[in-house]
Amino acid sequence: MKKVYFQRWVFGKMQDLQTSVEVLDGYNKTRFSHKKNKDEQLLLEAAKYAHDNQKLYFLTIFENEKPYCYLDINKGFYRVNFLDELVRKYMSYDFTDNFSSIDPNKLFLSQIMFWEFEGTTDKMVKITDHLFKPDGSFHMTERDLITNEQIDSEAKNKIDVSSNWEEYPEFGKYESLMRKERETIIS
């Protein structure tokens, strides 16, 4: 079962309630942290305000009491950061509304990044970056952090990016953005 906390994930852990409210106030020029009771309800209110007014907010999602992913949300930008069993960020999805001229009601998954680690350490050994465009263009960059080599490649054929489009999520409903399995078809 997944549980949503409207708290920021930073430096490998979830921030406490008070700090999370203060961070939102700092970014969004609000005054929620001046209220007497700083609890989950206040943080929920601050996040809802940010969502409704297209401002910055964060959330961390736990699955079966373990951190699963965290989201950074700001206006037309949603970043989903997935955590592995060792609580390391190993994959992220960037959704943007930069392509609103194509579909003003949807976000487009424009980037997927993967991080690979040396065994069970936090030492990164490889970063792979996938960039997508609505026309089916695809670019991939692989960086070997041990040898400092980089390989860039472009798809020769267009790929099917229809599964990269997502509806703007309602407040508290982020399941669709968190789907790990996404189909891309090379035509």
pLDDT tens string 97-152: 887 777 788 999 999 999 999 999 999 999 999 999 999 999 999 999 999 999 99
SS3 for 153? Answer: strand
Record the pTM. Answer: 0.91
Nearest to 63 by CA among 87, 45, 42: 87
DSSP 11: T
With residue 48 as reference, give the H or E element that holds it: helix 40-52
Q: What is the pLDDT of residues 140-158, one digit of tens each?
A: 999 999 999 999 999 889 9
CA atoms of 173 and 175, how far apart (whole Å): 6
pLDDT of residue 25: 95
Answer whether 130's CB lies under 8 Å from 143's CB. Answer: no
Q: Give residue-wise pLDDT tens across range 9-39.
A: 998 999 999 999 999 999 999 999 898 887 8
- pLDDT, residue 119, reads 96
